[in-house]
Amino acid sequence: MRIKICGITEPHQSIAIASFGATALGFICVPTSPRYVTIEQIQAAVAKLPDKIDKIGVFANSNISEIQQTVIASNLTGVQLHGDESPEFCHQLRQSLPQVEIIKALRVRNLEQLETTANYIEYVDTLLLDAYHPQQLGGTGQTLDWQMLQAFSPNRPWFLAGGLTPDNIIDALNQLHPNGIDLSSGVELSPGNKDLNKVALLFQRLKSV
């Protein structure tokens, strides 16, 4: 299972989190986010990471040239689209960055929204399901309705996100079988400042799964 810790801002934390066993780190490229990082900050955070760690840039309603520029300059291996990007936009991005993983995040509040994931299957590598919040795009600490996801089985790998913490992760994984999990606020002291004790506890709990 893939384990992504998102909203990294500190280079020393990126190295520590990778050493605990994270398979992917996420960097927020959305200027309005409290976890926003510049290209220079991403470069510093990924410089000493092992090649096997996926380095994901998180974007929301950016244009393709902006995304492409950040990916190339920061040596990212993946792009997570967390805004209102259409399937067509995902297709265009795929043409521009053929070697990069494309993850489409959807903020799900009902079954009707969950069904829209089918529109993206053809154009993305991975899906990510996050909790819906009317103002915030992610990192809200709110959980999804896990009951609603029990029959969710797309023919693409998918990440479970939204309010996951070391305390509820086993519960979540006992109910659902995602290909990956994505945590941000659930392992933080404050936005962008990860609590390494909580991250360590998360990996300790995951050993029992």
- The two tokens of residue 127 are 């899906």
Decide: 180 and 199 in contact? Cβ < 8 Å. Answer: no
- Work out the number of other CB atoms within 10 angstroms of the CB of residue 15: 17
Give the count of domains, the chain.
Answer: 1
Tell me what percent of the residues of the chain surpass a pLDDT of 70: 95
Q: How far apart are CA 5 and CA 199, in angstroms?
A: 9
pTM of the model: 0.94
Q: How far apart are CA 192 and CA 87, in angstroms?
A: 30
Nearest to 208 by CA among 174, 183, 161, 182: 174
Give the domain CATH number at 114. Answer: 3.20.20.70
Q: Which domain holds residue 67?
A: 2-206
Chain segment 109-138, per-residue pLDDT in tens: 888 889 999 999 999 999 999 985 544 454
Decide: 7 and 28 in contact? Cβ < 8 Å. Answer: yes
H or E element that contains 108: strand 101-108
Please tell me the predicted confidence (pLDDT) of residue 13. 97
